[in-house]
């Protein structure tokens, strides 16, 4: 009996210290959140032409408030490009039919990011809003490049540039986690408070079909889903998490966060189960304690933290198949993405720098084809045919032998655009 009492006492002491530890971190999280609530300031929000984009008839119900965006820093505003903020009371929320696409660019990622944004714009019809988080010296380059895109395409997108922003305490630690600025994505629900749903992608993503196709997966969410990602691996024998991870991860092989679809309203509202305390925590309360507990055990930075979160909250994650986030791992040792074999690659993810070296020439061929394509040129003559020719030169690699999957969906996307042009849409 005495042993049981000792065990019970130890459990109670452990629970008390766990709660104290977590709540010790809450002032930091609350301080970060309050920085955004101090006021609204406009951030170089650019409507890409004088006309409003033509909104489609269907949408998944995403709501934003008109006006500025939150900021931690005061930057000089450009009266020619900024949207006027609401004065007095908050303006009435309006139905927003745009697709909200976010990317984080630090270091030499300008051209890679522009290629991704171009691919997002080429094949779709719905209006887009690009949320570009970048180091300050890149803001002008993004604006100059996007403003040079042809007006017929500019009518279909807006963009906003933001500074890289982390909680004032531990800011350096967050910024250096895995890759420069990569962990910024963890704070998007706290920064973009008036965006209901968001598609986050890494800079090395290329869309081979309309963005609205992945956006439509939001309609497949059940009442508990709040985010969607693809598995990190399809083949457990070569998977990383189940062989090397020193922390909890989602499912059998973990998930990859390079393409992440989010219902950010649900993320902001949910209380997440965790292994730090028996008390469920909101997103803003969860991040800092999670980093402090696992920072010595994680390898892939923010992606590992997301795996830990969804390990404890598996009901909150919708997992989409590998063709929505196709990486060299899916073909480097032979094809292991069955869905891509059947339907083609929907979204190409050139991680590990394969767009810029000779390790995976098939991936590089797709990147260079989209980068070199000029808006308005014939897509078959100046994009598809040159790409197919270049892919023929990559057959000496496993991924090159699977390169027909890279063009299968691309052909369909181009065919639909050509048919719509013929029909005068």
Category of 424 on φ-ψ map: left (φ > 0), alpha (ψ -120 to 50) or beta: left
Q: Would you state the pLDDT for residue 64?
A: 32
Does the pTM surpass 0.85? The reply is no
Query: How far is residue 268's CA from residue 26's CA, in Å, rounded to a whole number?
Result: 15
Tokens 């923010």 correspond to what residue? 302
Task: Give me the domains of the chain, ranges plus CATH numbers.
Answer: 40-322 (3.90.550.10), 326-422 (no CATH)
> Looking up tokens 């292994």, which residue turns up?
275
Per-residue pLDDT in tens (0 to 9) along the chain, 425 residues: 555 555 555 556 555 555 454 445 555 455 555 554 443 333 445 544 333 333 333 333 333 323 333 333 333 333 223 333 333 333 334 567 899 999 999 999 999 999 999 999 999 999 999 999 999 999 999 999 999 999 999 999 999 999 999 888 778 788 777 677 888 999 999 999 999 999 999 999 999 999 999 999 999 999 999 999 999 998 888 888 888 888 898 999 999 999 999 999 999 999 999 999 999 999 999 999 998 899 888 888 899 999 999 999 999 999 999 999 999 999 998 999 999 999 999 999 999 999 999 999 999 999 999 999 999 999 999 999 999 999 999 999 999 999 999 999 999 999 999 888 777 65
Question: What pLDDT sits at residue 112?
Answer: 97
| Closest CA relative to residue 372, chosen from 107, 102, 111, 48 | 111
CA distance 333 to 345: 17
d(CA 283, CA 38): 19
CB 201 within 8 A of CB 350: no
Beta strands in 346-408 (DSSP E): 347-349
Please give the pLDDT value at position 182. 81
- Residue in this structure with the two tokens 């997002």, named with its chain if needed: 120
């Amino acid at each position: 009996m005495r042993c049981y009492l000792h065990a019970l006492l130890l459990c109670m002491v452990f629970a008390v210290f766990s709660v104290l530890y977590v709540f010790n971190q809450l002032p930091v999280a609350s301080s970060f959140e309050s920085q955004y609530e101090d006021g609204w300031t406009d951030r170089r929000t650019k409507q890409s032409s004088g006309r409003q984009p033509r909104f489609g008839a269907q949408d998944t119900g995403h709501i934003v408030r008109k006006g500025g965006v939150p900021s931690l820093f005061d930057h000089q505003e450009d009266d020619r490009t900024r949207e006027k903020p609401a004065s007095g009371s908050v303006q009435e929320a309006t139905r927003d039919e745009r697709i909200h696409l976010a990317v984080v660019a630090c270091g030499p990622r300008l051209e890679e990011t522009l290629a991704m944004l171009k691919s997002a714009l080429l094949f779709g019809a719905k209006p887009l809003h690009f949320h570009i988080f970048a180091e300050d010296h890149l803001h002008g380059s993004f604006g100059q490049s996007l403003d040079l895109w042809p007006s017929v395409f500019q009518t279909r997108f807006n963009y906003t540039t933001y500074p890289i922003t982390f909680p004032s305490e531990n800011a350096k630690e967050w910024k250096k986690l895995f890759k420069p600025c990569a962990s910024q994505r963890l704070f998007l629900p706290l920064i973009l408070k008036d965006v209901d749903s968001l598609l986050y992608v890494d800079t090395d993503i290329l869309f081979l079909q309309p963005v609205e196709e992945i956006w439509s997966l939001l309609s497949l969410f059940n009442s508990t889903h709040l985010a969607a990602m693809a598995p990190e691996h399809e083949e457990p024998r070569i998977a990383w998490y189940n062989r090397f991870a020193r922390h909890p991860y989602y499912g059998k092989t973990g998930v990859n966060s390079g393409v992440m679809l989010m219902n950010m309203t649900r993320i902001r509202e949910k209380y997440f189960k965790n292994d730090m305390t028996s008390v469920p925590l909101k997103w803003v309360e969860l991040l800092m304690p999670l980093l402090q507990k696992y920072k010595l055990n994680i390898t892939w930075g923010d992606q590992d933290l997301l795996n830990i979160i969804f390990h404890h909250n598996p009901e909150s994650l919708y997992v989409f198949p590998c063709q929505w986030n196709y990486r060299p791992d899916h073909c480097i040792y032979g094809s292991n993405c069955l869905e891509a074999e059947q339907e083609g690659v929907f979204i190409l993810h050139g991680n590990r720098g394969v767009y810029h070296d000779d390790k995976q020439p098939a991936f590089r061929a797709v990147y260079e084809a989209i980068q070199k394509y000029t808006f308005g040129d014939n897509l078959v003559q100046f994009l598809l045919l040159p790409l197919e020719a270049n892919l023929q030169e990559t057959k000496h690699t496993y991924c090159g032998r699977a390169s027909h999957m890279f063009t299968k969906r691309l052909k369909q996307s181009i065919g639909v655009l050509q048919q719509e042009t013929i029909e005068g849409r």
